[in-house]
Structure 1
Amino acid sequence: MPTIPAARNALGILRYLGERAAPARASSIARDLALPRSSVYQLLRVLMDEGFVIHYPEHRTYGPSTLMAELGAAPRRSAQLARLAAPLLERLVPRAPLPVVAHLALLSGADVIYLARVQGFRAPTTVTNTGVRLPAHLTATGRSLLAALPPGQVRALYPDRGSLIRRNQRGPRTLAQLEGILAETRERGWAREDGEITEDYASAGATALDTTGYPAAAIGLTFRSTAASASHWDALGDAVVTTAREVTARLAGRH
């Protein structure tokens, strides 16, 4: 049997991380696998560059990326995304120019599922609790995710093109109207909705991509629409885009 220590050690690290319920420190990996700490850091760096390992800087730990999570169950992938994004949501909320609720959402068919939520001081109470499902075409997070999909995939999600679900008598009625909204979203760089889920509430959203360029999850901010000026909208849009890019970078194994 060929002996290639670096390859065996790298696979050993992946197996070690994949079998753990939580991310691990490099020192723990080195100790448990009886490897030099310097070698562990070098191998982790390569695995991060190749998209197989994610670094959680707040805890100085490492865990398997979505490339590895795709081999497991969907709940594990959702938990990983929530763990990865939670510190970023915590930092996003106090930086917003008005009281907001930040959330992380995942596309599931033609719905979005909310994986994590952080409510700011004096922020409105929203329906976007963890585990809630909402029609993707009515939410800012959903629209940002749909806008990142190939048009053919969007059409496949909405086979009944002439009667889309609406709430509060708002939102697109047809697939053609939705496609117009998604085109505006791509041009703007982030999605928005105003009163289409809850009256007097509005949201901005932007999408994080995985290592293949596929929309992995969306970052959203919800706030009272009556409190938001045009400059607030621009600032909130910039904020969700910045945070979504940070999630994208972490999914790719970059700081």
Structure 2
Amino acid sequence: MDEETVSRDHVGSLERGLAVMEILARHPSGMTLTEMAEEAGLTRAGARRFLLTLVATGYATQSARVFSLSPRLLSVARIWLAGTSLWTFAAPIMRTVAAQLNEACSAAILSGEDVVYVARIPGRRILSVSLDVGTRLPAYCTSMGRMLLAGLTPAELDAFLSRATIESRTPKTITDRSLLAEAIGKAGTDGFAVVDEELELGLRSIAVPIRDKAGRTVAAINVSTQSARFSVAEMQREILPALIEARQRVEDFFVV
């Protein structure tokens, strides 16, 4: 596209209006008309038109002489992110973890009694359990499930434990509901969950929660490995730091 076409199609007023929104975003406590005019390089009349337009369209609020951005902009961001999928952004972060450890890295959300995989970066080592995006596994005997259950309110967790189908998947599966509640509580206190051959013999996994801006657990990410590759202590020492770093980076996409 040549410069003449760009110039003809360029809407200067929209550009200035977006600049005003960005300036407001940098001042969460709000700004006066005079402050906006000075920082945006606009006349007071020009700044006033942009600010009042934002107020009229719901993107800003006015309290006396102070203008601030409204939550509507966050709603727009959420709609965009929902259509784009946060896990599209998280995948490269998870891929780094998988490559660093040479193990699979996955993400899941809670759905009823199960976890549902929303992202998965396979490792090079073969596990007999077949996992992919959309796979459902019992929450009670998976590391991500334990972490997601730890994010429930006490009443929600009690309801889950009372209704969930809990059965032995291996000789090591915790099936006693009181012991299971203790394991879930420990995961919440520790900030991570380890499941040692409870889903499948020879399979260990460790998970951490993904929390939104309000502190709610909305997902979990884990690394799964063969028990011959890492002991539980080695997982906490070698895998957990990488997961925590990845969690912090993924959570950046959940703050809107």
If the length of structure 2 is used for normalisation, what is the TM-score? Answer: 0.68
Is the CA contact 1:208–1:244 (under 8 Å) kept in the aligned structure 2?
Answer: yes
Counterpart of 2:210 in 1: which secondary structure? Answer: strand
Equivalent position of 1:15 in the other structure: none
Rounded to whole Å, the distance in 2 between the matches of 1:228 and 1:49 is 49
Tell me which residue corresponds to 2:136: 133
Distance 1:32 1:124 in 2: 57
The one of 23, 32, 35 equivalent to 2:15 is 35
Cα separation, 2, equivalents of 1:109 and 1:150: 15
In structure 2, distance between residues paired with 1:122 and 1:140: 19
Give 1:34 shift: 2.9
Larger radius of gyration: 2
Alignment length (residue pairs): 205
Q: Are 1:239 and 2:219 matched, yes or no?
A: no
Q: Secondary structure at the match of 1:64?
A: helix
Distance across 2 between alignment mates of 1:128 and 1:118: 10
- Determine helix, strand or coil for the equivalent of 2:169: coil
Coordinate RMSD, CA, aligned: 3.3
Give the distance between the partners of 1:51 and 1:250, measured in 2 at CA.
18
Q: In structure 1, what is the equivalent of residue 221 of structure 2?
A: 219
Residue 85 of structure 1 corresponds to 90
In the other structure, the counterpart of 2:191 is 189
More deviation, 149-158/116-125: 116-125
Residue aligned with 1:198, SS: coil
How many Å separate the matches in 2 of 1:78 and 1:114? 18
Would the aligned equivalents of 1:100 and 1:222 in 2 still touch at CA under 8 Å?
A: yes
The yes-or-no answer on 1:64 pairing with 2:53 is: no
1:115 to 118, 134, 138: 118
- Relative to 1, partners in 2 of residues 1:87 and 1:31: Cα closer, same or farther, differing over 3 Å? farther
Q: Whole-Å Cα distance in 1 between the matches of residues 220 and 246 of structure 2?
A: 10
- What is the percent sequence identity of the aligned residues? 23
Q: Which position in structure 1 is the counterpart of 2:179?
A: 177
Q: Is the 8 A contact 1:104 1:219 kept in 2?
A: yes
* Contact 2:110-2:116 within 8 A present in 1 as well: yes
Instruction: Classify the secondary structure of the residue corresponding to 2:118.
Output: strand
Q: 1:32 to 1:85 in 2, by over 3 A?
A: farther
How far off its partner does 1:128 sit?
Answer: 2.5
Paired with 1:139 and 1:124, the residues of 2 have a C-alpha distance of: 15
Alignment partners' CA distance in 2, 1:233 and 1:171: 20
**Partners of 1:149 and 1:241 in 2: CA distance:** 20
- Cα offset for 1:113? 0.1
Structure 1 match to 2:45: none
Inter-CA distance 168–180: structure 2 relative to 1 (3 Å threshold)? same
How many Å apart are 1:31 and its aligned residue?
Answer: 6.6
5+ long unaligned stretches in structure 2 = 1-9, 29-58, 60-68
| Structure with more relative contact order (C-alpha pairs < 8 Å, separation 6 or more) | 1
Q: Any conservation in 1 of the 2:206–2:235 contact (CA below 8 Å)?
A: no
- CA distance in 2: counterparts of 1:49 and 1:143, whole angstroms: 36
Distance 1:129 1:39, change over 3 A: same
Q: In structure 2, what residue type is equivalent to 1:233?
A: Q
Q: Distance in 2 between matches of 1:79 and 1:155?
A: 35
Structure 1, unaligned runs of 5 or more: 1-29, 55-62, 70-75
